[in-house]
Amino acid sequence: MSKHRKFTPEFKAQVVIEVISGAKSAVENCRQHNLKPQVISEWKSFFLENAAQVFQNGKTNGQEQARIVELERLVGRLTLELEVAKKASSVLGAHLSRSEP
């Protein structure tokens, strides 16, 4: 029974870049890492199809970071409001229990 090996995205990118840049051929990478040529071909196709996203992520990342900052600020404000409400509730509860006959 054969096991499927798992490769990190970094490893896949390294292998594909070596093939694309000409530093190593696909055959050399296949022999070195004991891979089938079809695997490297699939990785290369996926890499090239999604290459444009590398440049889009910079813009999206800035928007995502701004959203994260906004949400963190909101969480902080709501936490503060909750603490104030808890203190007010305990003070009001203590005050009402003392004033009841």
Structural domain contains residue 70? yes
Three-state secondary structure readout of 9-64: HHHHHHHHHHHHHCCCCHHHHHHHHCCCHHHHHHHHHHHHHCCCHHHHHHHHHHHH
pLDDT value of position 18: 94
Residue 98, in any domain of the structure: no
Q: Domain for residue 86, yes or no?
A: no
- Is 28 part of a structural domain of the chain? yes
> 11 near 36, Cβ under 8 Å?
no
Q: pTM to 2 decimals? A: 0.54
Q: Which domain holds residue 30?
A: 9-74
User: Which of 16, 69, 23 lies closest to 39 in space, CA to CA?
Assistant: 16
Token couple for 32: 């070195």
- What is the structure's pLDDT at 57? 59
Domain count, the chain: 1
Specify the pLDDT at position 60. Answer: 62
Per-residue pLDDT reduced to its tens digit, 45-100: 999 998 888 777 556 677 788 899 999 999 999 999 999 999 999 888 887 777 76
Mean pLDDT on 17-39: 93
